[in-house]
Amino acid sequence: MARDNSKPQSTPAVTLAGSTPWRERAFLQLKAASEIAGVSVTTLYRFSDAGRLKLREFGGRTLVDVPSFVALLVTAENWTPKDRGKEARGEAQRNRACRPARLSAAVTPHTHTELPICPPSLTRLLTSNTI
């Protein structure tokens, strides 16, 4: 039998929870709030411990109070670019300056000797008479 397509199909009367915008809800699940804010669930708990975010328990779940969540998001600072690559490269060079290395002895492979390994530029600086 052919289906009668002349009558418009009725839409269900039930509105799914997923179709309600998150700002219009009273509460959010922790996972949803963490995805919206771009932080971990643990960070949300830290905000709560600091008194910056209200959490509620309902039905055995921990939920985020949306008005306090929106207030928390409004406090976010404007992003400004930082030259973190330069800082990281400088830190890596400082860490490499004289780190201990383990060298295995040829005779006894289970014994190790701690020797500092310095980059050639630092070795020259340390061994020169200009200091």
Asked whether residue 13 carries a pLDDT value surpassing 80, the answer given is no
Residue 104 confidence (pLDDT) = 47
CATH code, residues 19-74: 1.10.10
pTM exceeds 0.75? no
- Burial pattern 13-35, b for ≥16 Cβ within 10 A else e, equals eeeeeeeeebeeeebbebeebbe
Band of residue 57 on the pLDDT scale cut at 50, 70, 90: very high
Q: What is the pLDDT of residue 19?
A: 82
Phi and psi at 61, nearest 5°, equal: -120, 150
Tell me if 74 sits within 8 A of 66, measured CB to CB.
no
Quick: pLDDT tens for 64-120: 999 999 999 999 999 888 887 777 777 666 666 555 555 444 445 555 555 555 556
Residue 8 per-residue DSSP state: P
pLDDT of 16 reads 46
**The pLDDT value given to residue 20:** 87
The two tokens of residue 53 are 């975010």
